[in-house]
């Protein structure tokens, strides 16, 4: 909940700073987790996956912050910043928590909680940078691509979630995500 809340808040905050008030007026510019919970994606889907896969495959999500890209000062450029804000916030939180973790005795229960929160933030940040819609990496890529290629790329969005689930379910994404996660955790001095 902490990682998802920081992630979604950051999208809304950056969009707000760049001219879009949608998140503010929909009550999403808050660090209150209740504003970011989606009953199906935050609770039911992870519970179903936990039960059906014996805890080996769990996936969940917060309610995405709505952004009206046309309200942004420079939509083509600003979509990159809005997309990058969530993963960047997760990496920043992981770095801050890893600094705090070094000050706490390793046997303390708080060190266990902090270490897990660091791992969760790094996994969430790396996972969301994958350039498959609706993930944040797709927003970043859309902003970087020339207009014609960006328009073609956006045509996969209706199929993005199916593609993403297939890649997760088959384990293909594990070969991309885990090497990056373990490298970042090593930089932070945390073991997965």
Q: Which of the residues are catalytic?
A: 8
Give the span between the Cα atoms of 108 and 152, in whole angstroms: 52
Read off φ and ψ for residue 152, nearest 5 degrees: -65, -45
Q: Which of 84, 91, 58 is nearest to 168 (CA)?
A: 58
Cβ-proximal residues to 160 (8 Å cutoff; 6+ apart), any chain: 132, 133, 134, 135, 138
Instruction: Look up tokens 């000050």; give the residue.
Output: 103
């Amino acid at each position: 909940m902490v990682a998802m809340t920081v992630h979604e808040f950051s999208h809304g905050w950056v969009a707000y700073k760049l001219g879009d008030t949608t998140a503010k007026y929909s009550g999403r510019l808050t660090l209150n987790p209740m504003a970011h919970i989606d009953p199906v994606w935050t609770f039911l889907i992870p519970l179903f996956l936990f039960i059906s896969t014996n805890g080996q495959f769990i996936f969940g999500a917060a309610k995405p912050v709505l952004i009206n890209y046309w309200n942004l000062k420079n939509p083509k450029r600003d979509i990159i910043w809005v997309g990058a804000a969530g993963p960047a916030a997760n990496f920043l939180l992981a770095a801050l928590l890893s600094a705090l973790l070094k000050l706490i005795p390793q046997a303390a229960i708080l060190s266990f909680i902090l270490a897990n929160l660091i791992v969760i933030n790094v996994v969430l940040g790396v996972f969301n940078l994958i350039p498959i819609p609706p993930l944040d990496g797709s927003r970043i890529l859309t902003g970087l691509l020339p207009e014609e290629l960006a328009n073609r790329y956006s045509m996969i969005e209706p199929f993005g979630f199916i593609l993403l689930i297939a890649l997760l379910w088959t384990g293909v994404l594990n070969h991309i995500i885990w090497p990056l996660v373990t490298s970042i955790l090593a930089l932070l001095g945390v073991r997965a």
